[in-house]
Structure 1
Amino acid sequence: MSSRKNKELFEAICFFGKKAVIKEMRYSEFEAVLDGVVGVSELANKTVNAAYLKINHSLQVHSIVTFTIEFNERGFADEDWNIPLRHLADNAGPGPDLGAGPIRLACRSQCSVSWYQRELWEPSQDGVNHFVLLKDAVKRNKLGLIVDDLGFDEIPTLSPPPAPEVPVISETVEVPTLTATSEEDINARLEAQAKEFQKQVDQLVQRQKQTLHGLEEKYKDEIDQVKRAMRNETQTYRHQAQELEQQANHNKVLLEKIQSRNTRLERDHIQLADQAETQKAQYDELKDEYLGLLRNQRSNENEESEKVVELKEQLTLKSVEIDDLKDDVTSQKAMVSELQAKIASFEQQNQQVSESSSEEIENLRSLLSDKQSEAAALAAKVTQLEANVEKLTAQLESSQSEGLEHVQQLKKSESENKKLQENSKSAEFKLQEANRALAALTTKYEGIKQELSEVEAAEASSTDLFDKMESLELVFVAYHAGAGHISLPARQLEDYLEKPLVFAAQKCSVTLGQYKSWLLHYDNPECGECHVPVKRIDAPSDFQAGVNDRCTKHRVDNGNVAMFRKTS
């Protein structure tokens, strides 16, 4: 910082090692490190404790802010680091006296802005005294700060004149006695010296006042202009911040609507895809069923036609056999009638020749018995042929009944074929309906794809907005119970809008589930079993589920484990 104004203070940054100050730089150099212009190679891949100092022109510490900062592998500072060091120093509490009265100190245990408390560290006065290290580093003046030889407050003080040397002549010293005249002369000289010193002091004070007045008059216009410009710039930034905040709120609402619409569209898309898969599965099942029915119908028709052909052939064979048997029966009946006619003729001849000789009678009797035996054999054969005819007639009747059954089965198969044809027609109709439903689903899917593209375009526009806010280096502040105020750069705003409680839990150094349990306890501090009021725990890191949200009766017993309150 420039030292043109006498009342201005120098600003410096000191980085600590384990037991000493390892690096010093002016605040302007530190701003270049924060902007990513230069890096600090010796601090690469480290998280170090540092101190922001305000130093007067007598090389005395005026203010200290202790903070931590992280450097990456190339020695550049963390891009998300945004602690307002000057504001913390101007609003800091009292600290130890380092030579110019109590300093202003901002540290972890003494911070005016609570949400920056975890970014600070606590200096020590035992063992390694960080205040002494800072005081010695300032006195060494490695930064080449311009020091005033005589400060404004260094006003000369009056001192009495030196006492006259009294010569020692002997062991006994004779003290001269002062007369009244000598005492008056000494008092007069002392008064004259006092007046002269007072006159010099008055002249010096007057000169300093004139100098200060001249400096104030000289820089008054510039200071007023700077103040007006800063007020105007602050007002402009405030308006821009309000507009961006309104736009961010509007975009947040729009983003929530888009997200809900996107969720709804995705759900509809999944449902439509499921419906399409179901319709496709039904279509495949109907198609397979239709093809199976056609195959079964054709196989049944072929089997029935083969059975009908076989039955016809069997009926033809049976009818041929029956005709042959009928011919045999007819021929046998003719033979029987012929034999009966012969027997009747033989009987007539027997009666006619009864009167002939006995020898002839015996011959005729023997011949008659032979003929009678032949007639009995023929009668038996006729009886057998009649039985065969009856048997063949029964077989023919059974064949005819089987033929009737096959005819009925054929009729039944024809009705089944008609049903199969009707089922095939209904299956074709269902296939047509499935095709129409599939076409409708395809159209709806195209609409959903178009809506998704519109949603992606809207998200891209919101991303452009976040990039614009990030280019303006805007920082947003959100408040959460237990976590206090959380400062968020623009690049983290989108993540915060999606999961705000995760940021709050990280700020409190607890998990998301622990933070939610603590929120329930913080909003309603009572026992989770009997609803008896219990003591409220203000810090999420001090909260234990099952212990702090239960009364003494229902509290979870942790055995011999003693619970201690966590400290910063």
Structure 2
Amino acid sequence: MGQGTITEAVMFFDQNHVVKEMMYPEFEAVLDGVVTISDFRNQLVNAAFVEIDGQLMIRAAVLFTIDFDEQGNADKDWNIPLQHLVYAAGLGPDLGAGPIKLACRSQCPVSWHQAQMWDPDMSPDANHLHSLKRAAESNSLGILIDRSYVPPVPVASITAPTLSEPPMLDDDVPTLDAALDFEEPAPAQAAVDEGELENRLSKKFQAAHRNKVANLIKQQRLQIATLKNRFKEEMVQRNRLFQQQQEKLKAELESQRTEMEAQQRQNTTLKQTMKQQLDEFRRSREELTRQLQNIEHDEGQDIASLKAQYEAEMAERLQAATAELQEQVEVRDVEMAYRNELDGQMQEELEELRAKVEEYSLRQSEDVLEDLSHKGVVFVAYHPGVGHITIPLRDIPKYMNHTMSYVSGKCFVSEEIYNQWLRHYESPNCDARTADGSRCGTRLDRVDSPGMYTEGHSNHCEKHRGMSAVEVVKAARQQR
């Protein structure tokens, strides 16, 4: 029997819950601007185009996004061929009626529509596809159920009968013969060989098991692809947030630096002003001293009192001016110290923020690597001298941070010897220096194993093997 009438519908999500459902013709009216959806004003909504059969089972799903304006009108430029995507979509999880056809961001048959698609959350506690299944089964759209449709009995769920005890089947359930697609044997064929029957049943069960395993593998690949896309989007968002915070802190630092430079210029101006005033006081004092000398010459008896009065007055004025300027300089120095301290604090905050972002990125990367390791992913690397090596998850940080040290440890040699051997392996020529300072360059037999490499022997030709650099130079000069 067929799968019955197919109903096309559109369901809208709020996080992982279906909040609104409508038939596809109603959705076309929304796209044409005939109907508005006030609940989605100024929102970018995740939606799903689904095909539902007469038994309220989902057969296909296309996960897309659509934008609504301030009045609740759909984006006029939105144009995704939903029905074409269903036709070209790949297989997805089994929602009760076999693997559905699924089109999403990680599994989009038309690449230029990928930006307007989204990936479902397939975790047990928040599964978008299960929400679609529950919404279809609730039948809020009032789909007519096809009562005449009898779903096929999965071959994997049929238990093979024994010859002594035939299975008891209801009238409404397909018999074993119907499930296996062969007619009831004639009376003349009643004595069918039991081994042949078991062999046919075994092939049917094996085919059903292979299909089930293949569907599980496809579902796991889809889930891994969605997790990778989500991780990339989170990292892009984190990096964008970090860049914004970094730009903000840089702007604040630049502002503080500008203010500090202005304070420094102001302090320099004050010091110059104080110096000018001190020079003026000095000149005035010299002038008054000359006047006192003249007065002393004219009026000897009043010199002492005038001199004392002058010195006291000058000392008082000089002390007052000096104290005022000194106080201004101290205030500026305190402000500069505060600015420097605030600048240091902001630098520390910037470093802490950068460290937190790096730590979060490392933690996210470790979580993804651990998840991939649990799913059976093996990390393999190739290096000369050791070949392909399998790297355990716990050694990934060590391998990333100290690659050469890790590889040399696998070769049972030191990192220095491994690097010397690697240079010889890549260029097996004599490294000895001639009298003019150039390399000998004689072609050598390559040593394929780092453990068999000996510096001064494996990288020198027969002529220079065992000779020091001084001896090589002397031998070259003698040959001349």
Q: After TM superposition, is the score higher than 0.5?
A: no
Q: TM-score when scaled to structure 1?
A: 0.28
Q: Indicate the structure with greater helix content.
A: 1
Q: Which has the larger radius of gyration?
A: 1
Q: TM-score when scaled to structure 2?
A: 0.33
